[in-house]
C-alpha cells in the first residue's frame, strides 16, 4: 500500500503540501509568540493552541493503546500524573524550593536540571535542554510505572483490564498525595515555579507556543512511524484477533506490554507538557474524570485514527475553553438572554457531545486518516467522474 502511495503523483504533491503547511504553521507560531500584538483573538488563541497540541499527544498516546492495540485501559490520568511530577520535581530552581515545599522544609531534592545545565551552557540553552531532558525523563518514569503495572494487569481482558488500570491510576494518585512522600511530591500541595513554556527561548526568540507543538509533533510522528512499522501491524493483529495473532507467533504479552509502555511513555511526556502549560500542578487534578475526557476526545476523533484524535483535541479544547464561553456571560451579541447564566455553557457542551456521539458514532474520522494525497485524489475523482470517493488510508 505504502509503496504504491509513494509512487503516485498525488502522494508527492500531498507531501509537499504537508511540508509547506507545517512550515507555515511554525512561521505563524513564531509570529504569534514574537511579532503579533496581543489582542483579544490571539490571546485566547495561544492557550487553546498550546493545550490542543498537548492534548493531541495525550489522545494519540491513548489511541495507540485503545484504538490500535485494542487494550481497553483507563489509566491514562495516572501516567500523566507521574509524568507531570517527574518533570516538575527536577526543574524547580534551587532557591524556590523553600517556597514551594513550604511544609516540608524545602523538600528532599534540591537541584534543578535546567539550572545545572544553565550554569554550563547559559540560561536559555540550559532551560531548553533541561526541559527536554526532563520531559524525556518524565516519559521514562511513566513507562517504568507502566511496566510494573503491566506485569499483573495485562493478563486481564477488556472491562476487567479497564477497571484495574483505573484502579492503579487512583492508587498512584493517593500515593503521590501521601504526606510521607511530601519531601519529594509536596503531598497534597501544588508544585510550581518549575521551568515552563515562557522560559523557553532561543536568543530573543520566544518559543512558548512553538515548543509544545514541536515536542508533540515529534512524538506523534514517532507514534505514526511505529503504527506503520512491523510492530504497529502486530498491534493491529492483536486488536483484530488475539487468538490468530498468537497463532501467527505474535506474543500477546510482549506486544501488549510494548504498547502499554510506549503509550505510557508518551502519556508521561504529555503530562510533562501539561505541567509546563499549567505552570502549577497538583495530584488532585488527575482524576478518573480526566481519563474519561481523553477517551471522549479519542472516540470523537475516531478510534484508530491519529489525525482524528488531533483534530478532535483542538476542537474539544477550543469549544470547551473558548468558543462557548459567551454562553456563560448572560448576554448574546449584547442581548441579554435569561437562561444564559453560569453553567449553561457546560450544558450546551454536553449536549453537543451527545449529538456527536449519537450521530457520528464512529467519530469524526472513523478509522481513516486525513491525508492531502487522499483529499486530492478525491477532489480529482469528483471533478472528473463525479464519483463519491471512499475513504483513504
Partner 1 sequence: MSEKKPVLHVENITMQFGGVMAVNDLSLDVPEGQIIALIGPNGAGKTTAFNCITGVYEPTNGLVEFCGLPMVRNHPRGKMKKLYQGKDADKYAHDPAIAPTPDRITELGIARTFQNIRLWKSMTVFDNVLTAKHMRADQNVFSATFRTNAKEEKRMRAETEALLVEQNLLQYRDELAVSLPYGLQRRLEIARALATSPKLLLLDEPAAGMNPQETAELAAFIQQIRKEYDLTVFLIEHHMDLVMQISDYIYVIDFGSEIARGVPQEIQNDQRVIDAYLGVSEE
Partner 2 sequence: MSAFIQANLPYLLSGISVGGQYALIAIGYTMVYGILRLINFAHGDVFMVAGLVMVYLTTAMPMYISIPLTIIITVLLGFTIERVAYKPLRSAPRMSVMISAIGVTYLLQNCALYFTGGLAQIYPTIPWLSDSVTIGSATTKMVTVVTPILTVVLVFALVLFIQKTKIGMAMRAVSRDFETSQLMGIKINSVISMTFVIGCGLAAIGSLLYFTNYPSVIPTSGSMPGLKAFVAAVFGGIGSIPGAVIGAFVIGICENIIKGLGSSWTIFSDAFTFVLLIIVLLVKPTGIFGEKATDKV
Partner 3 sequence: MKKILAIALAVVMVMALAVPAFAADEIVIGVFEPLSGDNGAGGKQETLGIQYANSVTPTVEVGGTTYDVKLVVADNESSNDKAVSAATQLVASGASIVLGSYGSGVSIAASDTFGDAGIPVIGVTCTNPQVTEGNDHYFRICFLDPFQGTVQANFAHDELGATKAYCLGQLGNDYDQGLINYYTQAAEALGMEVTAESFPEGNSDFTSYLTNAKNAGAEVIFAPCSISYAQLIVEQAASQGIDVPITAPDTWDSNVVMEAVQGTDLDVYCTTFYAEGGDPDFEEGFKAYLNSDDTALANNGGNDMIAAVSVMGYDAYYTALEAIKAAGSTDPADVMAALPGTTYTGVSGAIAFDEIGDAIRDSAFIKQANTETGVWDFVAAQTVAEAEAE
Nearer to partner 2, 130 or 301 (CB): 301
Neighbouring C-alpha atoms within 13 Å toward the C-beta of 126: 15
Q: Which does 123 bind (CB under 5 to 8 A by kind): partner 1, partner 2, partner 3, none?
A: none
**For the chain, how big is the Rg over CA atoms in Å?**
22
Separation between Cα atoms, residue 54 and residue 69, nearest integer Å:
22
Could you give phi then psi for residue 336, rounded to 5 degrees? -80, 125
Nearest residue to 71 (alpha-carbon basis) of 200, 243, 252, 244: 252
How near is the Cβ of 354 to partner 2 at its closest, in Å? 5
3-state secondary structure of 335: strand
Binding to partner 1 (CB under 8 A) within 213-252 occurs at: 222, 225-226, 229-231, 233-234, 236-237, 239-241, 243-252
Nearer to partner 1, 71 or 317 (CB): 71
The reply to whether 342 sits near partner 3 by the rule CB under 8 A is yes
Binding to partner 1 (CB under 8 A) within 352-391 occurs at: 367
Q: Which does 334 bind (CB under 5 to 8 A by kind): partner 3, partner 2, partner 1, none?
A: partner 3
The reply to whether 333 sits near partner 3 by the rule CB under 8 A is yes
Note the Cα 263 to chain centre separation in Å. Answer: 11
Nearer to partner 1, 108 or 250 (CB): 250
The reply to whether 295 sits near partner 2 by the rule CB under 8 A is yes
Nearer to partner 1, 230 or 384 (CB): 230
Q: Which residues form the interface with partner 2 (CB under 8 A)? A: 66, 72, 152-153, 155-157, 159-160, 162-164, 166-168, 170-171, 174-175, 177-180, 242-243, 288-289, 292, 295-296, 299-300, 303, 341-344, 346-347, 349-351, 353-354, 357-358, 361-362
Which residues contact partner 3 (rule: CB under 8 A)? 38-41, 43-44, 46-48, 51, 99-100, 102-103, 173-174, 177, 179, 187-190, 192, 196, 198, 274, 277-285, 287, 315, 319, 321-326, 328-329, 333-334, 341-343, 345-346, 360, 364
Amino acid at each position: 500500500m505504502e509503496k504504491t502511495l509513494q509512487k503516485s503523483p498525488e502522494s508527492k504533491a500531498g507531501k509537499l503540501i504537508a511540508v509547506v503547511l507545517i512550515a507555515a504553521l511554525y512561521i505563524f507560531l513564531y509570529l504569534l509568540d514574537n511579532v503579533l500584538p496581543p489582542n483579544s483573538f490571539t490571546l485566547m488563541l495561544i492557550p487553546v493552541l498550546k493545550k490542543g497540541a498537548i492534548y493531541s499527544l495525550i489522545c494519540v498516546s491513548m489511541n495507540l493503546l485503545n484504538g490500535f492495540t485494542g487494550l481497553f485501559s483507563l489509566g491514562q490520568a495516572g501516567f500523566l500524573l507521574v509524568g507531570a511530577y517527574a518533570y516538575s520535581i527536577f526543574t524547580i530552581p534551587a532557591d524556590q524550593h523553600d517556597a514551594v515545599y513550604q511544609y516540608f522544609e524545602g523538600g528532599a531534592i534540591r537541584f534543578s536540571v535546567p539550572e545545572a545545565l544553565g550554569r554550563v551552557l547559559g540560561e536559555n540553552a540550559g532551560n531548553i535542554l533541561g526541559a527536554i531532558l526532563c520531559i524525556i525523563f518524565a516519559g521514562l518514569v511513566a513507562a517504568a510505572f507502566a511496566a510494573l503495572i503491566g506485569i499483573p494487569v495485562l493478563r486481564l481482558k477488556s472491562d476487567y483490564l479497564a477497571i484495574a488500570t483505573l484502579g492503579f491510576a487512583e492508587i498512584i494518585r493517593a500515593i503521590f498525595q501521601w504526606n510521607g512522600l511530601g519531601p519529594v511530591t509536596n503531598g497534597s500541595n501544588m508544585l510550581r515555579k518549575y521551568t515552563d513554556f515562557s522560559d523557553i527561548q532561543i536568543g530573543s526568540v520566544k518559543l512558548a507556543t512553538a515548543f509544545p507543538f514541536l515536542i508533540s509533533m515529534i512524538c506523534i510522528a514517532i507514534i505514526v512511524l511505529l503504527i506503520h512499522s512491523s510492530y504497529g501491524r502486530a498491534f493491529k493483529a492483536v486488536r483484530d484477533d488475539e487468538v490468530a495473532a498468537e497463532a501467527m507467533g505474535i506474543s500477546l504479552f510482549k506486544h501488549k506490554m510494548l504498547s502499554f509502555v510506549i503509550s505510557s511513555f508518551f502519556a508521561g511526556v504529555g503530562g510533562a507538557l501539561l505541567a509546563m502549560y499549567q505552570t502549577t500542578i497538583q495530584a488532585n487534578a488527575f482524576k478518573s474524570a480526566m481519563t474519561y475526557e481523553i477517551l471522549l476526545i479519542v472516540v470523537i476523533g475516531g478510534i484508530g485514527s491519529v489525525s482524528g484524535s488531533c483534530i478532535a483535541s483542538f476542537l474539544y479544547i477550543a469549544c470547551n475553553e473558548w468558543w462557548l464561553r459567551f454562553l456563560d456571560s448572560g448576554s448574546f451579541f449584547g442581548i441579554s438572554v435569561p437562561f444564559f447564566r453560569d453553567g449553561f455553557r457546560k450544558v450546551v457542551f454536553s449536549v453537543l457531545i451527545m449529538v456527536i456521539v449519537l450521530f457520528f458514532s464512529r467519530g469524526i474520522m472513523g478509522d481513516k486518516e486525513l491525508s492531502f494525497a487522499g483529499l486530492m485524489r478525491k477532489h480529482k475523482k469528483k471533478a472528473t467522474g463525479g464519483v463519491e470517493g471512499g475513504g483513504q488510508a
